Structures are given as structure tokens and as C-alpha cells.
């Protein structure tokens, strides 16, 4: 039986990536470097027979996906379940600002970010509850094919934890996810096999 391949990417660099600000549902555009990263991602996947590309509804993912498949004639399919973890009142704040303003909650959150949420935000478990059914639905829909999925840092880390059997509470400690990083998962007989994690080889020379 042919395997189903999901190329799971994070969006390219944004100014908040550079400034180390938490970015959940706020709209922040790609930097020029981020756009170049997305273009290089497309070149890296040039020989991969992608049948479709799916992305988060946030503009940074839509733009990354569009640039990556611009030469293929594919249009990104917006998938709401792929949106980033909602950081609530922490959205747009720098780490040191959060530590200063929410010292106790920050300690609780860093101990278990899967179970603890930022004020007015959501937990890692909330993200898994909406993302994993969507991923499995796409795998079933594209059985035997290869697709590109463009999402976010926390989303991708949580997906990879789920597939690798890593406790969700460790998603920030155990899984890296750089700007425009590429991951690859192959499904055979409904069993996932992770073959690539957090690769930035496509833009290492930038």
C-alpha cells in the first residue's frame, strides 16, 4: 500500500519572531527574510508531487503556503483548525514582560503548558483537540498522496508530540520548531512514521 506523506511546515519569519514576542491569533506579516524562506521551501519541495496545500487562516501561514506553491498552480486551502494556540492577553508580549506581569502563572504555564492557559487563552490540549482530527481527516482524504500543511510553532510541536508519544506538557521543552521549519510524516496503514523534524536546510545559506 502506498504511503501518505504530510510535509508539515511552520510559517516564515515575522517581526514578532525576531522580537521574541508571543504570537497567537494576532495578524503579523512575514518579513522579507520570511518570504524568502517560504520561496526556498517551495524550491526544496520542487520534486515532491504535492496534490494539495493546506494552511492556517492566519495571514502569515497563507502567505507562506502561497509562496511555497506559487509555481505549481495550487491554491492554499484555509483550514481553521490549524490556527495557532490562542495566547490571550499574552499575545504580542515579550517573554520578560510576561514574567514580570504574570510571575506565578508563568511558572505554572512553563511547568505544564498543555494544561495551563494564558489569561483568556487556550491550553495545548485545546489545540490538540481541534488539530489532530483535522490532520487525520486530511491523511484519509489524500490516501497515497503527498500534501503540504503550513501551520504554527505551538501547533506543529503539539502535533509532533502526539505522533511521537511525547507527553504534551513537554512540547516546548522537547520539540524545536524554527521559522519556516519543515517536518515530514508518512502514514502507512494508518500508522504515522516521523521521518523529519525541524529542518531548515532549505534556507541554511540565507
CA angle 30, 159, 65 (to 5 degrees): 30
Residues 11, 142, 152, 202: which is the catalytic one? 11
Single pTM value for the model: 0.96
Alpha-carbon separation of residue 17 from 84, 91, 156, 189 (angstroms): 14, 12, 16, 37
202 is catalytic: no
152 is catalytic: no
Chain centroid offset of residue 136 CA: 15
Report mean pLDDT in 10-residue bins for the chain, 206 residues: 90 95 96 98 96 98 97 95 98 96 97 98 98 97 97 98 97 97 94 96 82
Residues 39, 63, 81, 84: which is the catalytic one? 84
Q: What is the pLDDT of residue 2?
A: 73
Amino acid at each position: 500500500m502506498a504511503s501518505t506523506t504530510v510535509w508539515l511546515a511552520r510559517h516564515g519569519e515575522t517581526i514578532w519572531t525576531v522580537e521574541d514576542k508571543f504570537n497567537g491569533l494576532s495578524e503579523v506579516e512575514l518579513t522579507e527574510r520570511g518570504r524568502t524562506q517560504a520561496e526556498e521551501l517551495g524550491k526544496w519541495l520542487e520534486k515532491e508531487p504535492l496534490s494539495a496545500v493546506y494552511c492556517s487562516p492566519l495571514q502569515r501561514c497563507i502567505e507562506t503556503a502561497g509562496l511555497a506553491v506559487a509555481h505549481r498552480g495550487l491554491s492554499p486551502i484555509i483550514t481553521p483548525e490549524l490556527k495557532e494556540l490562542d495566547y490571550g492577553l499574552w499575545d504580542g508580549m515579550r517573554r520578560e514582560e510576561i514574567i514580570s506581569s504574570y510571575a506565578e502563572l508563568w511558572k505554572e504555564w512553563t511547568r505544564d503548558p498543555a494544561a495551563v492557559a494564558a489569561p483568556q487563552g487556550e491550553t495545548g490540549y485545546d489545540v490538540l483537540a481541534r488539530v489532530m482530527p483535522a490532520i487525520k481527516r486530511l491523511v484519509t482524504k489524500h490516501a497515497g498522496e503527498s500534501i503540504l500543511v503550513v501551520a504554527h510553532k505551538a501547533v506543529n510541536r503539539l502535533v509532533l508530540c502526539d505522533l511521537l508519544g511525547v507527553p504534551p506538557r513537554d512540547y516546548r521543552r522537547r520539540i524545536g520548531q524554527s521559522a519556516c521549519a519543515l517536518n515530514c510524516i508518512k502514514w502507512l496503514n494508518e500508522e504515522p512514521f516521523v521521518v523529519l523534524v525541524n529542518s531548515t536546510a532549505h534556507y541554511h545559506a540565507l
